Amino acid sequence: MWLRRLILTSNSRREIVGLWLLAILVLVSVVSIFKIKKLLIRPVEIINVPVLTATPTLTEKKKINKILIIGDSMIVEGFGPRLENDLSVYSDLEVKRRGKYSTGLNRRDVFGWKKYSLDLIEEDKPEVLVVMFGANDSQNILDDSGQPYRVSDPEWDEIYTQRVREYMVLISPRVEKIYWVGQPAAREPVFSGRLKYLDEIYEREAQKWNNIKFISTWERFTSEGKYQAVVADDGGLRQRVKTDDGIHLTYHGSKIMSQLVIGVLKQDFELE
């Protein structure tokens, strides 16, 4: 009887120990699962990393001190004086203007702009050169041997283009920047068409040089390609832009063209 009771007691103890071990195992499992779950649902810590953005550096425009304006009768009267006057209001800017009536790059037997331009550049030493030719160039031309050609001849185009090219080759290395001002439309249709063709030559040749910029004035004085006798300035004032000859500019027209040219200059240089 005693032995049986002892055996039962031992079995009971083993069962109790087993139950405790099972309980401990279950408890450890529950705690582990809870910890894993807590790690899984823990919010991800977001670290704000500053984004480095490049701040654009504004390129400072160079301030110029000397401008030389040269050309034909469009520089002598109307546009030339107005441009000189408008540029002269800027501080520390020296502006000089030299023009010759009835001249251009065609009739070299009448006046030699190549030598005269070199002399002026050497004397004044401008940083910027404003050039305007063409009003007197739509006429018969002589080649270097004295052979004449009419405006309608194919040879005329070649000879005149070569003279424009030679002039640019001569003056381009001697100044920092050249602004070649194109001719505005004229009242007489045939003559206006010739001026338009000259503008195309100037623009095409200017594109071959880094420091020569062609300024087209054609669009400013036309509407849908047609000549306009009355044009509004930047302030909206509408007045006649050409004198009685239909070629040269009135005071109002000169102001419009001057504003146009100065606007282009301000894109490249500081004027204040």
Question: Which residues, listed in sequence order, are joined to residue 95 by a DSSP beta bridge?
Answer: 67
Q: Bigger pLDDT: 4 or 83?
A: 83
Both tokens assigned to 61 = 């425009």
Angle between helical axes of 79-87 and 251-268 (0-180°, round to 10):
50
Q: What whole-number distance in Å separates Cα of residue 192 and Cα of residue 207?
A: 23
pTM: 0.78
The DSSP code for 92 is T
> What is the chain's mean pLDDT, rounded?
86
Residue 139, pLDDT score: 96
pLDDT band at 263 (very low <50, low <70, confident <90, very high): very high
In sign, the C-alpha dihedral spanning 234, 235, 240, 243 is negative
CA-based nearest residue to 138, from 83, 202, 81: 202
What are the pLDDT digits (tens) for 84-96? 999 999 989 999 9
Delimit the domains of the chain by residue range.
Answer: 62-270
- In this prediction, residue 142 has a pLDDT band, given cuts at 50, 70 and 90, of very high
Share of the chain above pLDDT 90, in %: 75
Pairing of strands 62-63, 66-71: unpaired
pLDDT for position 29: 55
Task: Report d(CA 7, CA 62) in Å as an integer.
Answer: 110
Question: For residues 80 and 54, which has the higher predicted lDDT (pLDDT)?
Answer: 80
Single out the residue of 249, 245, 212, 214 nearest to residue 233, CA to CA: 249
**Residue 1 CB coordination number (10 Å):** 5
What's the pLDDT score for residue 173? Answer: 97
CATH 3.40.50.1110 fits 62-270, yes or no: yes
Query: Is residue 166 scored above 80 in pLDDT?
Result: yes
- 41 pLDDT tier (thresholds 50, 70, 90): very low
Q: Tell me which residue has tokens 């071959």.
A: 208
